[in-house]
Amino acid sequence: MKYNFKNIFSVIAVLMLTACGDPKIDASSDETMAESLQAIVDELPNEKKEQFKEAVTGIYMVGALASMGSDKSKEEIQAAIAAKLDGKTADEIFAMAAELKD
């Protein structure tokens, strides 16, 4: 019984620690990307939700424009942009968007 309790407690402790921190973008699939973006938006204060959506849209637009004339497919371009967003928090997305504006 003690062994099982220790295992359960360890699992709960690990889950609690990994749940802490800002949510990050998971670009491993289209579905997880959408879910993680929504999770970030849900965590943001109301005044930053629209700014975040605009930042992500702007990053995609700049990436798409930068790849115009290349021989990459639409899917390859979207995957490359998603890879750049993968693992980023809202603050990192805001910083990335600000860099692109400068």
Q: What's the sign of the alpha-carbon dihedral 13, 17, 20, 25? A: negative
Average pLDDT over residues 17-27: 76
Q: Is the pLDDT of residue 12 over 80?
A: no
CB of 53 closer than 8 Å to CB of 41: yes
Q: What is the pLDDT of residues 55-83, one digit of tens each?
A: 999 999 999 898 888 888 989 999 999 99
Task: Name the nearest CA neighbour of 27 among 64, 79, 62.
Answer: 79
- Of residues 55 and 11, which shows the higher confidence score? 55
